[in-house]
Amino acid sequence: MPGIGEIWNLVIMEPMLNVLLLLYSLLFNNFVLAIIGLTILVRLIGLPITQKQIRSMKAMQELQPEIQKLQKKHAKDREKLSAATMELYRKHGVNPMMGCLPMLIQMPIWIGLYQSIYQALGSTPEQFVVLSQRLYHSIPTMHAIATRSLPLNSQFLWLDLGLPDPYYVLPVLVVATFWLQQKLTAQPAVDPSQAQMNRSMQTMMPIMFGFITLQVASGLAVYWIASGVIQIVQTGLTTGWGDVTQVLPKGIPGLPKREETGKDGRRRKKR
């Protein structure tokens, strides 16, 4: 009986790896384009779920003034506040779980994508012989593509996609895209302490991924940036570009000024 690892490879990682090679072959033998192509493809497949997530997040943001009213009303009774908040969500057809559930569902996909990129680069003999076991040799077209394409050209501009970026450009881009993504997808805070935690996480996560980028193959950083940009664009297209521009420090001239959550957890207009 196959183990979980084998099932994982069979169902998640190997299909992605082979599609990545197919895209590499179709997209001018350019691995950066193949990574971007696969990221877009995976995003398209997960589009219904992520759309629900973004809409749910938007709806929760719109309910924020009413939640604040409830917070005032039940300031001394957390149980009542919780029940009233849930009732409010129910009344407006909002499922707070939709904020994180799609993320959880997508996690295996992201891990598979990550593994397939890492595997395809095969920068050591150990990695390369394992790669041989993940390819669809029995499908003539895929065998022909793998034979023609391998080893993949890992050079792109100044980057060797199998090594970290020597000039630290990608870590900076990863931090920027993660920060923007975090700002856009953050759940509205129910209380001030949660707001404070959210702000800390919004700072920590981009820094964390920025430092991870210093250590890992730059091909993975390309994937993170592509994935982040797609998320930002998708959020913009779904909820309007106003939200995107509002998270920038001074907003965009001609667009409404940003509303942000203050230290007390309340939303306020920025002057």
Which positions touch another protein (CB under 8 A)?
A: 124-126, 128-129, 132-133, 137, 143, 146-148, 150-151, 166, 168, 192-193, 196-197, 200-201, 204, 207-208, 211-212, 214-215
Q: Which is nearer to another protein, 64 or 196 (CB)?
A: 196
Secondary structure element (H or E) that encloses residue 238, with its range: helix 218-239
Residue 168 — left, alpha, or beta (φ > 0 → left; ψ -120 to 50 → alpha)?
left
Q: Quick one: 93 or 215, whose CB is closer to another protein? A: 215
Q: Which residues, at least 6 apart from 143, have a Cβ–Cβ distance to it below 8 Å? A: 135, 136, 137
The minimum distance between CB 194 and another protein, in angstroms, equals 8
DSSP state of 265: S
Q: Which is nearer to another protein, 138 or 250 (CB)?
A: 138
> What minimum distance in Å lies between the beta carbon of 217 and another protein?
12
* Shorter beta-carbon distance to another protein: residue 168 or 241: 168
**Smallest separation, CB 122 to another protein (Å):** 11
Min dist CB 196 to another protein, Å, is 6
CA 93 to chain centre: 25
Angle at 199 between CA 194 and CA 202, to 5 degrees: 125
Q: Cβ distance 236 to 244 under 8 Å?
A: yes
CB of 113 to another protein, least distance (A): 21
Taking the complex as a whole, the smallest distance from the CB of residue 145 to another protein amounts, in Å, to 11
Residue 88's closest CA among 72, 74, 67? 67
What is the DSSP secondary structure assignment for residue 271, as one 8-state letter?
Answer: -
Give dist(CA 181, CA 226) in Å, integer.
Answer: 12
Which residue, 201 or 248, has its beta carbon nearer to another protein? 201
Nearer to another protein, 61 or 196 (CB): 196
